Structure 1
Amino acid sequence: MNDSPGWAVPGPSPSDGERPGASDGRDGTEGGTPPPAGGPKWSAEQPPPGEWSSPGTPQAAPKAPQQQPQPGAGWGSYGGPQGPQGGQWGKPPAAKPGVIPLRPLDLGEILDGAVATMRTHWRTVLPITLVVATVVQVISVLVQKYTYADLAVASDPGSGDSLKEAFDTLGGSMVALLANGFVQLIGTIVATAMLTMIFSRAVLGHGSSIGEAWREARPQLLRLLGLTLLLALGGIVIVLVLLLPGILLGNVAVAVAGGVAALPLLIWLALKFSLASPALMLEKSSVITSLRRSSRLVQGSWWRIFGITALTGLITAFVSAIIVWPLAAVGLAIGFADSGMEGLENGTAATGWAALILSAVGAVIAQTITMPIQSGVTVLLYVDQRIRREALDLELARAAGLENYGPNAAAPPTGG
């Protein structure tokens, strides 16, 4: 591994457990890190990973002075909560060169790492999301204003001219909406690619400028676009295939059953390939290789990744709601004051400039805050899975310039 965030895959097929020197966790080590050479021989039956007991015993040698916890020290330092006989309780000591400790992460550490990166590197993170969100929302406001305003309401729906006018207007509106969706897609891809690079450097404790993030992300942008379009196309094909029997038979119940069956399948596939984006960006891989990597990394951890992703979605949705809804309500109230009940009935109150602009301002603020959190959680989930399966903590420590880390490092001091 090199010092750049473009992490290479360690070994020919690391997710299949073929990485030389990597441990599967059954030898009592955490994150696949083997015990120090020449150290104590552990019994074959060890506590499950993450469950730590006090090493102190009544027959222990005379106690040395206990090491006091360092003020403000986190899990990355050797000071920790003292158990009976001076033993260590809680999580094992771990180096923390950046925003996360170099060991398997829990939910709180993943969320904290995403927020800490946004807080520490805000000069780089927030301008990226602010520019992307502003461009997307400006185009969205223009599309909504002029597309919805042009939707004709025929005074005589039965006349041929009115129907033709309605279909022509609807076709133009669909083109505008598709163009708006394409702009949102491009903006999201650019922001995701650059944020991925920033988060990968933050894990190592390195800063990153906007120019550096762009230069590192740019070579993979077309592949990331291809990956996003491939996943979207796959989802559309699955829905159409499951709805097709009901459509051909003209049976609404069969069509509804197909749609209901498509939902869990789409969720399962979305989580299965949720780590493809960071794999493609950080390993500089192809689209197909990134899909395979994500499938291997998620295997056996689907429910855990689903829970973390779902909770992140709920948090970001709540944050967005408390920002957007009050501004949208104020805009709607202004539109109501201008057009009255008639404006609410025909929709002009919701498509007035006040309502659209205030809603867009709220959306820009919300996306500027929530986009880094969502991207950060995805990147840190990818890092966490590689630490658990491939001992990526060794590679990260080496890239961060840490000394005495790994199999040949001296054991950390204990209080007993």
Structure 2
Amino acid sequence: MAQDAGWGGGAHGGAPYGGFPYGGPPGAPGWGGWVPPSKPGVIPLAPLRLGDVLNGAFSTMGKYWKQLFGLGAALYGGAALLMAAAVAIAYSAVADPLERVVSLDYEEEAASSDVVSLVTAVGVLAVLGIITMMIVSGLMYAAVPTVLQEAVLGRPIEFSTVWRRAWSHLAPVIGTLFLTALIVAVPVTLIMVAFVGVIIAAVTLESGSGAATAMTVGILGALATGPLAAWLWVKFCLAPAIVVFEGQRPVAALRRSAQLVRGDWWRIFGITLLVYMMAATAGYCIQMPFSVLGMFPGIISTSSLDDDPSPAAIVVAMSGYFVATMLGQMVSQIISTTFPQLVTGLLYVDRRIRTEDLGPVLAEAAGVPQQGGVPYGAQPGQAPYGGQQGEAPYGPPQ
């Protein structure tokens, strides 16, 4: 029997660790024959560290900037143009009532017909704005994971493909975002209702102790519901990515997100908090130069106004500032939406690699050679997890 290799030497000329330095044969990569994880795309197909997640997000933005930022510019730019056109149409419809209301003295009251016209116009614009932002946000939340699916595998993707897949997932993504916001907002809403009720009771009773009680309820309610809302938000933060990666419906995506987040809540919370702070800082730094540049034409234009300018004259004079501010806001919004969603998608992939051994499946789908045949019992020529050949291998394990 050959002598066991050890710290003091052994077989193969006294080389330690099994006959070769650090246990590996000549030419083996790494120490002890350790092979680094496959990296066909923007991340290694292994459990991700914080640096891997951030590098993967930045690499995706660098390699797929046309798809990500191009779609974001088209969506947010189109939404801005749509709202600008809607405001122009609404102004033309209520120009006379607006002029009469603005020209009223302090003691005069506006006619009810003028107030109804202005409130109706503002209401229509608000509803249109909400619907537009829901569609734009839903498309962005669907497009970013769509690009990330291919970025992880190192495959190209066309702009038209991103657009088509994003539209196909629009309804469930909006439903998931709405349910998540509703679930997170419920405890906060309940405590706000209780807070308002206590204030009303305190005002009705006209007692100093009632006001103190209202303040106490508000503080305790904020302390109680803040952590609860944060816990729920992190618990369901992977749901929009799951809708795109796995094709789940909203309720199933929320359940799946809670399952994947379980046992790693604090890590996901810390990374997402860091990423949103980074995105907010970057957005502020981007938006500030646009606002400063827009102030100069606004100052020059407003200096030429007369003593009693009309609303239209004020809007025209401030148009340069409005345009610059909107451009800065649009660029900031694209960054603050894209980067956090890329990180969230990578956290989803990381959790599946850690808990479901998704790495070999992704490596096979990316065409990286693997030892041991086809993983998870799939037949040759089939996509992993029972999907169709050519589909992204992110479906839930069956």
Same fold flag (TM > 0.5): yes
CA distance in 2, matches of 1:230, 1:351: 42
- What CA distance in whole angstroms lies between the structure 1 residues aligned with 2:240 and 2:6? 45
SS at match of 2:157: coil
Q: Is the alpha carbon distance of 1:117 and 1:170 closer, same or farther for their aligned partners in structure 2, counting shifts above 3 Å?
A: same
Give the one of 196, 202, 227 matched to 1:247.
Answer: 196
Partner-residue secondary structure (3-state), 1:161: coil
Distance 1:157 1:263 in 2: 42
Whole-Å separation in 1 of the counterparts to 2:323 and 2:237: 33
1:288 counterpart = 2:254: no
Q: Is the 8 A contact 2:21 2:32 kept in 1?
A: no
Q: Which residue of 1 aligns with 2:80?
A: 137
1:76-87 equivalence runs, <5 A: 79=29
Does residue 320 of the first structure (1) align with residue 283 of the second (2)? Answer: yes
Secondary structure class of the residue paired with 2:143: helix
Corresponding residue of 1:205: 154
Aligned-partner residue type, residue 279 of structure 2: T
SS in 2 for 1:108: helix
Once residues 264 and 80 of structure 2 are traced to their aligned partners in structure 1, the CA distance between those partners, rounded to angstroms, is 36
Query: Which sits farther off after the overlay, 381-390 or 263-272?
Result: 263-272
Superposition pairs of residues 22-33 of structure 1, within 5 angstroms = none
Partner of 1:384: 350
Matched residues, percent identical? 29
Cα drift, residue 276 of structure 1: 0.6
Q: Against the structure 1 CA distance between its residues 229 and 255, is the aligned structure 2 distance closer, same or farther, given a 3 Å change threshold?
A: same
Which residue of structure 2 aligns with residue 403 of structure 1? Answer: 369
Are 2:227 and 1:264 aligned?
A: yes
C-alpha separation in 2, matches of 1:351 and 1:184:
27
Amino acid aligned to 2:360: L
- Contact 1:194-1:213 within 8 A present in 2 as well: yes
Cα displacement string for residues 309-340 of structure 1 (whole angstroms, at most 9, x for unaligned residues): 11111221122112211111221332223225
Q: Distance in 2 between matches of 1:134 and 1:295?
A: 35
Aligned length: 337
> Which residue number in structure 2 is paired with residue 230 of structure 1?
179
Q: Which residue of 2 aligns with 1:18?
A: none
Q: What's the offset of the Cα at 1:172?
A: 3.2
Deviation, 1:163, is: 8.0
Q: Quote the Cα distance in structure 2 between the aligned partners of 1:372 and 1:335.
A: 31
Aligned residues of 1:244 and 1:255 also touching (Cα < 8 A): no
Displacement after TM superposition at 1:112 (Å): 1.0
Instruction: Quote how far apart the aligned CAs of 1:235 are.
Output: 3.7
1:278 and 1:379 in contact (8 A); partners too: yes
Aligned to 2:241: 278
CA gap of 1:335–1:371, structure 2 versus 1, over 3 A, is same
Q: 1:162/1:192 Cα in 2 relative to 1: closer, same or farther (>3 Å)?
A: same
**Alignment counterpart, residue 323 of structure 2, candidates 357, 361, 369:** 357
Q: Deviations over 1:111-136 (max 9, x none)?
A: 11111112112332232112112123
Q: How does 1:11-90 map to 2 (within 5 A)?
A: 57-59=7-9, 61-62=14-15, 64=20, 79=29
Given that 2:239 and 2:257 are in contact with CA atoms closer than 8 Å, whether structure 1 keeps it comes out as: yes
Q: Deviations over 1:255-293 (max 9, x none)?
A: 464355433322221111000111111111121111011
Higher helix share: 2
User: Relative contact order (C-alpha < 8 Å, sep 6+): which is higher?
Assistant: 1
* Greater gyration radius: 2
1:185 maps to amino acid = M
Shift of 1:99: 0.8
| Cα RMSD, aligned residues only | 3.7
Deviation at 1:399, TM superposition (A): 1.4
- Measured in 2, the distance between the counterparts of 1:227 and 1:396 equals 26
Summarize the alignment of residues 101-120 of structure 1 with structure 2, pairs less than 5 Å apart: 101-120=44-63
1:169 aligns with 2:169: no
Counterpart contact for 1:235–1:266, Cα < 8 Å: yes
CA distance in 1, matches of 2:291, 2:123: 24
Is the CA contact (8 Å cut-off) linking 2:301 and 2:318 kept in structure 1? no
How high is the TM-score relative to the length of structure 1? 0.70
Report the AA paired with residue 178 of structure 1: V
CA deviation map 1:217-269 (0-9, x unaligned): 43332111211222233344333211112222315523464355433322221
